[in-house]
Amino acid sequence: MDLRIFDVEHGACALLACDDNTRIMIDCGHNSSSGWRPGTHLKSEGITSIEMLAITNYDEDHVSGIADLFDNVSIKSLLRNRSVSGTVLRQLKTEDGMGSGIDRLVTEIENTYTGGAPNPAPGYQGLEWSGFHNSYPAFDDENNLSLALFLKCHGIGVLFTGDLETAGWLELLKRDAFKTMLRGVNVLVASHHGRENGCCDEIFEFCKPHYIVISDKGYAHDTQETVPYYRARAKGGPFRDETRHVLTTRNDGRIGFSFDLSRWGPY
């Protein structure tokens, strides 16, 4: 099993390939500097379909490559926070504007992916997954409506957190199932690309990851200033011939993790 976290600057995009070649893409941002786009990349690797696209946050940087993805690859199911309808999402975007990626996502929600993603889904050999989110209208901001997606890859837990902020974290922590899940996290993908408003001390009472991954670009929104905070909360481990606690796409580029029955680790 292989997980790749792509360098999409201050955005998000990752791909999990299971042992039976079923795949989940988590978010679908793109890299405006290099021109990298998710659908074009998959097509270049001979991948014409994926089983699931999971959207963790309803902001443009999580879906900026969605048109390229849908135009090049068949997507069998869409996983998202379903308490937010297409109509509600358009309303939420009236304040700061609807980007082309969110507009395409709403179109797909309203016209194609009207049902839920199956759970447990077919395939995904070696994988267990679960999702947690707050609901609209209890929360009416996109960040705290993020989907926290937990992937258990041959027993190793990876948590994608969207752009959750403190209020959203604390609400999820009221659930025993969420706290139990946190205890199984080995790799934490930092919320809100490592920005300070995504930090929450309380989750680390339960979550003791080996690695924390930050998907961002250099010197944007002061994300680099939280590296010491996250370093102090990770166990650390080997990565490219050194011991590391925090991995960042801005310094490390594309980050991969391999998982099998006997061992796992980043590359």
Q: How far apart are CA 207 and CA 189, in angstroms?
A: 12
Residue 267, domain member (yes or no): no
Q: How far apart are CA 81 and CA 115, in angstroms?
A: 12
Residue 192, domain member (yes or no): yes
Backbone angles phi and psi of 18, in degrees to 5: -85, 175
Asked if residue 103 lies in contact with residue 141, where contact means CB atoms within 8 angstroms, the answer is no
DSSP bridge pairs for 132: 148
Residue 170, domain member (yes or no): yes
| Count of helix runs (H) and strand runs (E) in the chain | 8, 17
Residue 73, domain member (yes or no): yes
Question: What average pLDDT values come out for the chain (267 residues) when binned by 10 residues?
Answer: 97 97 97 97 97 97 98 96 97 91 97 73 87 98 98 98 98 98 98 96 98 86 84 98 97 97 96
Q: How far apart are CA 96 and CA 151, in angstroms?
A: 32
The structure tokens 């609400």 sit at 171
pLDDT of residue 115: 76
Q: How far apart are CA 263 and CA 267, in angstroms?
A: 13
In the chain, the amino acid numbered 73 is V
**DSSP 3-state assignment of 107?**
helix
Its domain, for residue 203, covers 2-262
Q: Which long-range contacts (CB under 8 A, 24 or more apart) does 94-100 make?
A: 99/60, 99/63, 99/64, 100/60, 100/64, 100/67
The domain tally of the chain equals 1
pLDDT of residue 119: 54
Asked if residue 206 lies in contact with residue 181, where contact means CB atoms within 8 angstroms, the answer is no
Residue 55, domain member (yes or no): yes
Q: How far apart are CA 17 and CA 34, in angstroms?
A: 24
Residue 152, domain member (yes or no): yes
Q: What is the CATH number of the domain that holds 56?
A: 3.60.15.10
pLDDT of residue 95: 80
